[in-house]
């Protein structure tokens, strides 16, 4: 199992509220609805920044990212197939351009190493 982690930034002209609403209520359901893509995804998690918790870490009150997307796949090959799907390129990718500042987003592939499990 591999995971794609993407640290996301919203478009500069989009408010935080509008970003979070769009990502959760429009983009998330869209990703789920494109079966040609979502059939490869084992898990999709949206982690939205919590501005109300900024006081816990005052030195980080201005967060560089608006959220983190986690997409889990069985293998790197499955991930490559998912992002090469014509319906991903036709439907999901153009939607990402509507709300993400893609040149300033960062993504990487990771292997989880559990340290504490409850």
Handedness of CA 97, 99, 104, 107 (dihedral sign): negative
pTM of the model: 0.88
Q: What is the pLDDT of residues 44-80, one digit of tens each?
A: 999 999 865 555 555 555 678 999 999 999 999 999 9
Over residues 11-36, the mean pLDDT reads 97
Q: What is the pLDDT of residues 77-110, one digit of tens each?
A: 999 999 999 999 999 999 999 999 999 999 999 9
Rounded CA-CA distance 25/101 in Å is 18
In this predicted structure, what is the pLDDT of residue 32? 97
Q: Is 18 a member of any domain? A: yes
- Is pLDDT larger for residue 30 or for residue 62? 30
Q: Is 96 a member of any domain? A: yes
CATH code, domain carrying 106: 3.30.70.100
In this predicted structure, what is the pLDDT of residue 112? 87
Q: Is 10 a member of any domain? A: yes
Neighbouring C-beta atoms of residue 60, cutoff 10 Å: 9
Q: Is 115 a member of any domain? A: no
The domain of 90 spans 2-52+65-110
Query: Structurally, how many domains does the chain consist of?
Result: 1
Rounded CA-CA distance 12/18 in Å is 12
Minimum mean pLDDT among 12-21, 27-36, 41-50, 61-70: which range? 61-70
Q: Is 118 a member of any domain? A: no
């Amino acid at each position: 199992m591999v995971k794609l982690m993407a640290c996301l930034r919203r478009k500069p002209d989009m408010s935080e509220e509008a970003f979070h609403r769009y990502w959760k209520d429009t983009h998330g359901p869209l990703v789920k609805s494109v079966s040609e893509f979502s059939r490869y995804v084992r898990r999709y998690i949206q982690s939205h920044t919590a501005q109300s918790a900024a006081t816990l870490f005052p030195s980080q009150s201005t967060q560089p990212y608006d959220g983190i997307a986690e997409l889990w796949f069985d293998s790197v090959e499955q991930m490559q197939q998912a992002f090469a799907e014509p319906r991903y390129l036709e439907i999901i990718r153009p939607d990402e351009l509507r709300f993400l500042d893609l040149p300033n987003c960062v993504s990487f592939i990771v292997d989880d190493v559990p340290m504490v499990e409850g």
